[in-house]
Amino acid sequence: MNELSVPERKPIGWDQVRALVLDALPSPHSKRVYGKALEEFVNWAREQGIDAFTKAAVQRFRVSLEEKHLAPSSINVRLTAVRKLAAEAADNGLLDPQLAAGIGRVKGAPQHGSRLGRWLTVEEASLLLRDREDRSLKWLRDRAILCLLIGAGLRREELAGLRVDQIQQREGRWVIVDLIGKRQRIRTVPIPSWAKEALDRWLEAAEIAQDRLFRAMDKAGRVAGEALSSQAVYLIVIGRARQFGLSLAPHDARRTFAKLAHKGHVPIEQIQLSLGHESIMTTEKYLGVRQDLSDAPCDHLGLDLH
């Protein structure tokens, strides 16, 4: 089966609607995640002999995901992609709006509580960012990347898209201007002096004066001239962290920025602005401020076990 159909309507061309969904997504990372999720849904439908794109079909798909014991977040990512598929199909006259609305009402897997996430301590972050005798182009680039991720709390997609002309001075300090984040929100992000110094070293050594800040490199350690992808940023971060015995992904670096700033008594509203969160409640959840691990309830039980 190469197409999904709906009752009494023309069959939906899978490639056509999938393209509509992916074209509507601004982030390369989202395109990749949604593309994989939609491919999984259509392959499942083919295996099950399902040729009608309906609420009942999507509910069966959710049950099949739950039977695989996938995490609620993994299930919900897939269902979000399928809902987006229905909405785009309806918007383009390929699916009855009532059917699309029904698919949109398919409930996701319930999530209880919130994940604590991972972040570095001050000592771990200092170890990772400390300057080294290594003066290779690759190390200078990778260190500048890590300094901006941890020093400014950027998302990897945001960092990959940075241009030289976005690094400017405002009110006597260096900032990233016109940074476009999620949902096309634009913000200005201050950067610490040590991150600017690391960035300057990389740009001078790589002889980069315009366009993208970070570039791909060939096996010989030379600048390839191509813009760095967000996936490349991911691989750089986890690879460099492993060299120091640390476990770190780009979003953990962003969380490290937030956690260390909060421990340094930075007002949460200022952290929210740097991170680009729409709601301060998102920042509070992100930081886990309601759970104090440094002074936890278990530290005050008063038990004497000696």
Q: What residue numbers bound the domain in which 65 lies?
A: 3-104
What CATH number corresponds to the domain at position 278?
Answer: 1.10.443.10
Does pLDDT of 69 surpass 50?
Answer: yes
Q: Are residues 99 and 133 both part of a single domain?
A: no
Last residue of a domain, one of 104, 133, 161: 104
- Tell me what pLDDT residue 5 has: 55
The last residue of one of the domains, among 104, 131, 166, is 104
Q: Are residues 139 and 92 in the same domain?
A: no
Q: Does residue 138 contact residue 221 with C-beta atoms inside 8 Å?
A: yes
Residues 89 and 207 in one domain: no
Residue 156: per-residue pLDDT: 92
Tell me: pLDDT of 91 over 70.
Answer: yes
Q: Could you give phi then psi for residue 87, rounded to 5 degrees? A: -65, -45
> Do 282 and 147 belong together in one domain?
yes
More reliable by pLDDT, 17 or 205: 205
18 and 164 share one domain = no
Q: Which of 70, 104, 138 is the last residue of a domain?
A: 104
CATH number at residue 74: 1.10.150.130
Query: Which of the given ranges, 27-31, 71-75, 292-296, has the highest pLDDT on average?
Result: 71-75
For CA atoms 230, 231, 235, 241, the dihedral sign is positive
**Cβ atoms of 14 and 3 closer than 8 Å:** yes
Asked whether residue 65 is assigned to any structural domain, the reply reads yes
- Asked if residue 207 and residue 150 are part of one domain, the reply reads yes
> 282 with 159, same domain?
yes
Same domain, 282 and 157: yes
Q: Is residue 29 part of a domain?
A: yes
- pLDDT confidence bin for 304, thresholds 50/70/90: low
pLDDT of 141 > 90? The answer is yes
What is the mean predicted confidence (pLDDT) over 121-142? 90
Position 292 confidence tier, pLDDT thresholds 50, 70, 90: low
pLDDT at 44 over 50: yes
pLDDT in tens, 232-260: 999 999 999 999 999 899 999 999 998 89
> Interior CA angle at 79 toward 76 and 84, to 5°?
125
List, edge to edge, every strand of the sheet that includes 186-190. Answer: 167-170, 173-180, 186-190
Most confident of 18-27, 100-109, 200-209: 200-209
| 279, 145: one domain | yes
In a domain, 63, yes or no: yes
Specify the number of domains making up the chain: 2
The residue ranking higher by pLDDT, 169 or 117, is 169
With a cut of 70, say whether residue 144 has pLDDT above it: yes
pLDDT tens-place string over residues 5-42: 544 444 556 667 778 788 777 667 778 888 888 889 98
